[in-house]
Amino acid sequence: MPTDTIAPQEPVVAWPPRFGAGSPAAGLPWRLPDSSAGPSGLAADQAVVGDLHVRAASVVGAGHRCEPPATPRQDAYRLAQDRDGRYLVIAVADGLGASSRSELGAQVATGQAVAVIRRHLDAGRHPDEIVVTDLYLRIASSLVQSAEQRGLTPDDVRTTLTVAVVDTRPRPDGLRTLWLSRLGDCAAWYRISNGWEAMIGAAKSSFDGNTLSEFLPHYPEAVVQKTFTIGRGAVFAVMTDGVSDALAEVNGFGQWLRDRWAEPPQLTSFVLDVDFDAPGQQDDRTAVVVWTGRESDDQ
């Protein structure tokens, strides 16, 4: 017997949110880089790990994709969990635009960070036992080795890196530990009542905000580490400066993003949020956002 045909709903045509007059580059066609070995212009993921909900997106910036030949996406992120699913591991990197293969540096840095930390956790050790300088030294060594294998120099693969490790299971009191480390200008932010508060790193405030003095593989000893205790219903984000700079530079963006990310959105909606259009905001954008479970989720 034939079954009744159910007509699909008409798809809704959606566009990235626009602030003010937007950026002229955002309306131009996307171009492809010369190299076929670079990362895709867009990467996105969603997951549930324990009581954590995760959304992640990385989009090549309008300024990098509109002029032929385009520049590969120089941001990268990596998500992972340990063997027992006890911890979520996040790594976010932003390759330096002045480096010829910064996209490679960002990819190697995030991959190596997650691999080393996962081995640490799988051996039964806690995040607070990570020797952060040793971790970043190993990542720096991997960057140098990857560059040499391709006939490149360490300057060709310079990148920033921020790493987060969060417990996927709250304690009986509802609290959990969030371990963060940072080198460069990627930052971690906590959702508060009127916007976002920097947990590690902050929006740039110097006259030339795009000038960095510390980055991998040259300055692994400059890494900064912090540990936080967060509760139920918390929201935190690890972002590259393509998103976090707009918190200070685009009027209303921080509050708008706070409201948009009060709850985990559909992944396609999250991608459009990250690909927002605003004057002067043309860099690559990456955001990994985590929502912790609420007390009602356990009932």
* pLDDT tens-digit readout, 111-132: 999 999 999 999 999 999 999 9
Residue 112 corresponds to which tokens in the numbers above?
Answer: 């190596």
48-81: pLDDT as tens digits: 999 999 999 999 999 999 988 899 999 999 999 9
Looking at the predicted structure, is the pLDDT value of residue 97 above 60?
yes
pLDDT value, residue 34: 86
Residue 14 burial (C-beta neighbours within 10 Å; 0-12, 13-18, 19+): exposed
Residue 200 corresponds to which tokens in the numbers above?
Answer: 């590690």
Exposure b/e, 87-111, CB count within 10 A at least 16 = b: bbbbbbbbbbeebebbbbbbbbbbb
170-203: pLDDT as tens digits: 999 999 999 999 999 889 999 999 999 999 975 5
Residue 55 corresponds to which tokens in the numbers above?
Answer: 């959304």
65 vs 297, more confident: 65
pLDDT value, residue 131: 97
* pLDDT averaged over every residue in the chain: 93
Residues 11 and 262: their CA atoms lie apart, in Å, by 24
Domains of the chain, by residue range, sit at: 40-203+210-298
Domain 40-203+210-298 has CATH 3.30.450.40: no
Q: Assign 94 to helix, strand or coil.
A: strand
% pLDDT > 90, the chain: 86
pLDDT value, residue 207: 38
Residue 208's pLDDT band (cuts 50, 70, 90) = very low
Residue 211's pLDDT band (cuts 50, 70, 90) = low
134 vs 206, more confident: 134
pLDDT value, residue 203: 53
C-beta separation of 90 from 84 below 8 A = no
pLDDT value, residue 136: 98
Residue 99's pLDDT band (cuts 50, 70, 90) = very high
Residues 281 and 23: their CA atoms lie apart, in Å, by 7
13-41: pLDDT as tens digits: 789 999 999 999 999 999 999 877 789 99
Exposure b/e, 186-207, CB count within 10 A at least 16 = b: bbbbbbeeebbeebbbebbeee
Residue 213's pLDDT band (cuts 50, 70, 90) = confident
% pLDDT > 70, the chain: 94
Residue 210's pLDDT band (cuts 50, 70, 90) = low
Looking at the predicted structure, is the pLDDT value of residue 299 above 50?
no
251-295: pLDDT as tens digits: 999 999 999 999 999 999 999 999 999 999 999 999 999 999 987
